[in-house]
Structure 1
């Protein structure tokens, strides 16, 4: 059909699911932050990562997983839902 258009959407969904899964592990550390526009302003709040399973992700301007584990790994994964873009940063 249109593989160039479908691939980024599938990658976005796959990476979002991987982040939720990582944040649900027993040794996970960190937090999940969402940014949403409320009354014209951009507001940030912390949520539990599994909340993203049942909501329309497009309601958020940005989602940040500030994750890691008790072994010392640290990473951030930033999602821009409306553009279906995401960026991963591993912090060794």
Structure 2
């Protein structure tokens, strides 16, 4: 799996169209045949509005890129896994159009 093209910083945040483009590149990498990581979406769901039952996150693992409807998720995490020389995470916030790319050492 090839590296996602990002500056040689260990962490970088992007916004707007740049964030969406980075998300799309990382998503493409995450579903390549030799990918070892995963793609996960978080939804904060109010199952009971009483103070005793706060809003809790629901985690979904995506097995196919077509399963992802960004309007349904508060946060999408793309984990490259631990392939040699290519270990990174992308945290994408669809509603804020913001992404943080973290390159692991």
How would you bin the TM-score normalised by the shorter chain?
A: 0.7 to 0.9
Q: Which has the higher strand share?
A: 1
RMSD (CA atoms): 2.1
Match status 1:89 vs 2:96: no
2:21 counterpart residue number: 14
Displacement of 1:69 in angstroms is 6.2
Richer in helix (by share): 1
- Greater gyration radius: 2
Structure with larger RCO (C-alpha < 8 A, sep 6+) = 2
Normalising by structure 2, we get a TM-score of 0.67
User: Post-superposition, which runs of at least 4 consecutive aligned residues in structure 1 deviate over 3 A?
Assistant: 68-72
The TM-score, its normalising length taken from structure 1, stands at 0.75
SS at match of 1:82: coil
Cα offset for 1:35? 0.4
> Which sections of structure 2, spanning at least 5 residues, go unmatched?
1-13, 48-54
**Structure 2 vs 1, CA of residues 25 and 69 (structure 1 numbering), >3 Å: closer, same or farther?**
farther
Question: May I ask how many residue pairs the two structures share in their alignment?
Answer: 83
Check the 8 A contact 1:8/1:84 in 2, yes or no.
yes
